[in-house]
Copies of this chain bind each other. A is one copy, B any other.
Amino acid sequence: MDTAAIEQIVRNVIVQFEKESIRETAAPQSATAERTLPVEISARHIHLSEEHALQLFGKPLAMKRELSQPGQYLSTSRLRLIGPKGVLDNVAVLGPERSSSQVEISMTDARALGIKVPVRQSGDTKGSPGIVLASSSNIVAIEEGVIVAARHIHMSPDDAKYFNVQDKEKVSVRLNGIRPVVLCDVLVRVHRDFRLTLHIDADEANGCGCDGNTTAVILKDKE
């Protein structure tokens, strides 16, 4: 191999290296607008306190399969929700047990059950309506705890750094479904155990025409 050929190879490697470097430094600047969020549609579900789980099933909840957020699982148990106007059967119970029971339904469900339900972040159940929970062997009435889950993004501290957002910050998210929309005021929740996911409910998913191919992108007003 002659010197000119070697020089050419070295020159190519340098050019390639420079391109890679540009790509690496450029990525974080443009990525906020480009990196998509996995979208998960939360179907109606129930979280139970230890006490309610024992009353309804006579034993603690057991795992059927893991969910996307580490430690959370779909249990082997299902319940009937009984409202003043209607019932919803076969509603999933998620584990593990929590400090208090909480029922997350859509507005469509609330209408079918005949109750008026506020849109709230998980855990914020003060003043929300109650409902009757029925298993095949027992019935439990909870005095409050029924909410429509407010949409939110789970992310790790690394993701938060990547997207340049803080815990509890609100962002807008463009959902490129069959009926494209921009969701405003989407709460960001940052925790080291969280896996990057946008959680919306069944009404939001149907209203946006979401399917498995739908992508979501954070739009930050300040940028």
Contact = CB atoms under 8 A, between A and B. Distances in A.
A186 to B, nearest CB: 9
A150 interface: yes
Nearest to A106: B206
Interface of A: 106-108, 119, 150-151, 172, 178-185, 201-209
Nearest to A200: B207
Contacts of A181: 181-184
A128 B181 CA distance: 24
A103 to B, nearest CB: 17
Contacts of A119: 178-179, 209
A180 B107 CA distance: 15
Q: Which of A108, A119, A202, A207 has the most CB of B within 10 A?
A: A207
A180 to B, nearest CB: 4
Given A108-B206, A203-B207, 16 more contacts: A106-B206, A107-B206, A108-B108, A108-B202, A119-B178, A119-B179, A119-B209, A150-B179, A179-B183, A179-B204, A182-B182, A182-B184, A203-B206, A206-B207, A207-B207, A207-B208
